[in-house]
Amino acid sequence: MTPNSSDTPGNRWSDLDRPPLNAASLRRALVRPDGLWTGLDVVERTGSTNTDLAERARAGTAEEGAVLVAEEQTAGRGRLDRAWSAPPRSGLFFSVLLKPDVPQERWGWLPLLAGVAAASALARTAGVDTVLKWPNDLLIDVEGDERKLGGILAERTGEDGVVLGMGINVSLRAGELPVPTAGSLTLAGAQGSDRDPVLRAVLRSLEDWYGRWCAADGDPSESRLLEAYAAGCATLGRTVRAELPGGEALVGEAVAVDGDGRLVLATAEGVQRPVAAGDIVHLRPAAPGESGGGTSGGSGG
């Protein structure tokens, strides 16, 4: 995806509809002695905020609560290294460093937690209903079509850290969409396209949910994370096709998210099969007439 034609490289004010983020104001609002966020940097352009923040963590130059935001990301990645790109200042592209003091088998809840936090923040701040596609996508309605608004990527860094990255399309215009299934807050009729209040709201919501989850030792039920995720997950109740490594596929109705964050599919044989995010290549709506039947040969996507 190429930048808007009105953008001149190096001129941060070239697109007046997309002003730069105010890093100093964001730090004043978010970085507090008793809070989660310990530092916030905004860079003009980078390949991947996840990669950069993970390198800082490994080098010992970033502590828990570090936030790295990019005005433009040229090598952004989603799950399974899928590319993510957008014009400069058209969205929020950021990563945070977390070091959860909870059992590591519960760390898989972090991208789901981030989805709940982002969806609730966007509803309050932008006035746009946002739902979750398991495991890591944010979806919105654009003129009756369900579109992808953003994605979440969690990556381990060292023995005790996780870099959690998020990309949210804010002001993407119809002609700038990388694929027809993408959307943005602007296209969904958001109240405005000012990214500063949106970023503040998302990070505050993330801090709140992370605090609840950590206080409950990562228990998704006790922290009410499981309940909140299930309530906002558009995948539940739909018949889906989970494409697995090796070309196999599992078709069934998505009936629940279990305590480990796995999606539970009820197949046509009456068997309930949990599938983990790391085991899925693609999760798609099932084709018409495709109602289940366990694993079968199929495209790996």
Domains in the chain, start-ordered, CATH in brackets? 23-231 (3.30.930.10), 236-297 (2.30.30.100)
Say what the pLDDT of residue 77 is. 54
Taking 60 as the threshold, does the pLDDT of residue 295 lie above it?
A: no
Taking 90 as the threshold, does the pLDDT of residue 143 lie above it?
A: yes
Say what the pLDDT of residue 134 is. 96
Mean pLDDT score, 222-232: 98
Mean pLDDT score, 142-156: 96
Mean pLDDT score, 176-198: 95
Report which of residues 57 and 85 the model is more confident about. Answer: 57
Residue 291's pLDDT band (cuts 50, 70, 90): low
Q: Give the HSE-up count for residue 201: Cα atoms under 13 Å, Cβ half-sphere.
A: 18
Instruction: For residue 263, give the nearest of 272, 194, 123 by alpha carbon.
Output: 272
Say what the pLDDT of residue 6 is. 39
Residues 6+ apart with CB under 8 A from 11: none
Q: Given the structure tokens 């739909």, which residue do they identify?
A: 238
Taking 50 as the threshold, does the pLDDT of residue 298 lie above it?
A: no
- What Rg value do the Cα atoms of the chain yield, rounded? 19
Other Cβ atoms closer than 10 A to 159: 7
Could you tell me what percent of the chain has a pLDDT over 90? 79
Q: pLDDT tens-digit profile of 257-275?
A: 999 999 999 999 999 999 9
Average pLDDT, the chain: 89
The answer to which of 70-79, 138-147, 233-242 has the lowest mean pLDDT is: 70-79
